[in-house]
């Protein structure tokens, strides 16, 4: 078997595992909290930035479009879980930040999320989990560097 085929097989197995875990998390969040994984992800990102994030920063952290984040932010705001704060010097920009109610709700959800993931990955030892996480982070870092290099190059047809 070629190295390329081995890597494709690895990718397909990673994808299968990730999709299965993600599906279960989506179901659990819907069942226990009447919420969605994207809403959980937005709250999670904001929980790591207590000062808040501009919409463009939040989109970058989550690697989704501003449009995807806007609807979620609107609903979380309507429910009192996030607040919009004007950005001094930029009338068009707002910063999103978790409210106290949002912090409390996210803490509840995050505790359940951690328990669910722990149960789903119970067969993985802590040592293996740390080693796999480090290796996957190295892959992600290499991919980010390659992406930055690709974006630096000018198109061949540029004049």
Domain of 29, CATH number, reads 1.10.10.10
Answer whether residue 7 is part of any domain: no
Supply the range of the domain harboring residue 32: 13-122
In a domain, residue 136? The reply is yes
The per-residue pLDDT for range 86-127, each reduced to its tens digit, is 888 888 888 999 999 999 999 999 999 999 999 999 999 999
Residue 93 gets which letter from DSSP?
Answer: E
DSSP alpha helices (H): ranges in 34-125? 37-47, 55-62, 66-78, 100-120
Q: Are 99 and 31 part of one and the same domain?
A: yes
Residues in Cβ contact with 84 at an 8 Å cutoff, skipping those fewer than 6 apart: 73, 77, 94, 95, 96
- Give me the number of domains the chain comprises: 2
pTM, rounded to two decimals: 0.84
Token duo for residue 13: 């197995």
Q: Is residue 4 part of a domain?
A: no
């Amino acid at each position: 078997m070629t190295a390329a085929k081995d890597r494709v097989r690895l990718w397909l197995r990673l994808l299968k595992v990730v999709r299965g875990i993600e599906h279960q998390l989506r179901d659990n969040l819907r069942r226990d909290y009447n919420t969605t994984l994207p809403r959980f992800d937005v709250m999670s990102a904001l929980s790591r930035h207590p000062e808040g994030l501009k919409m463009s920063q939040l989109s970058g952290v989550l690697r989704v479009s501003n449009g995807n984040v806007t609807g979620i932010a609107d609903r979380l705001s309507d429910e009192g879980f996030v607040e919009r704060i004007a950005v001094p010097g930029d009338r068009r920009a707002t910063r999103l930040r978790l409210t106290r109610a949002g912090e409390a709700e996210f803490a509840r959800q995050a505790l359940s999320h951690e328990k669910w993931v722990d149960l789903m990955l119970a067969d993985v030892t802590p040592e293996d989990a740390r080693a796999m996480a480090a290796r996957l982070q190295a892959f992600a870092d290499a991919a980010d560097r390659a992406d930055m290099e690709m974006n630096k190059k000018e198109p061949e047809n540029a004049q």
